[in-house]
């Protein structure tokens, strides 16, 4: 377990999600690890797209897509990202609404 991923001063952004893809939003700071906390009022899953340039999340389907990183309601997930890159995020739910909290930190 890595306990040193996030500083107590890590910047956090909140993005409210619906069944329409959210606007492409810059990650709050540079780093090599992103932490996403999903808080939802429904049982729907969240799909995310994280990358350089404008992002538009899509729902997961039978076709593989880098724009459909899927998270379940109430989860807290951590992913590696390219270090010190300017990245954006977009999200969508398959039902209802959800909020995601996004932090960027330094991990191994």
Please tell me the distance from the alpha carbon of residue 70 to that of residue 79, in angstroms, as a whole number.
12
Residues 29-59 pLDDT 10s: 888 888 888 776 566 889 999 999 999 999 9
Which whole number is the average pLDDT over 92-99?
90
Please tell me the distance from the alpha carbon of residue 15 to that of residue 91, in angstroms, as a whole number.
8
Residue 90, pLDDT score: 95
In order of start, what are the domains of the chain with their CATH numbers? Answer: 12-105 (2.60.120)
Instruction: Look at residue 7 and tell me whether its pLDDT is greater than 80.
Output: no
45 Cβ neighbours under 8 A, 6+ residues apart:
60, 70, 71, 72, 73, 93, 94
% the chain with pLDDT above 70: 90
More confident residue, 65 or 93: 93
Residues 77-95 pLDDT 10s: 888 888 778 899 999 999 8
């Amino acid at each position: 377990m890595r306990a040193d991923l996030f500083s107590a001063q890590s910047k956090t952004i909140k993005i409210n999600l619906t069944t329409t893809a959210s606007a492409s939003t810059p990650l709050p700071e540079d780093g090599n690890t992103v932490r996403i906390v999903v808080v939802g009022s429904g049982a729907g899953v969240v799909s995310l797209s994280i990358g350089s340039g404008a992002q538009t999340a899509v729902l997961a389907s039978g076709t593989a897509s880098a724009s459909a990183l899927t998270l379940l309601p109430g989860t807290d997930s951590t992913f590696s990202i390219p270090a010190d890159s300017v990245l954006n995020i977009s999200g969508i739910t398959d039902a209802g609404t959800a909020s995601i909290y996004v932090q960027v930190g330094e991990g191994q």
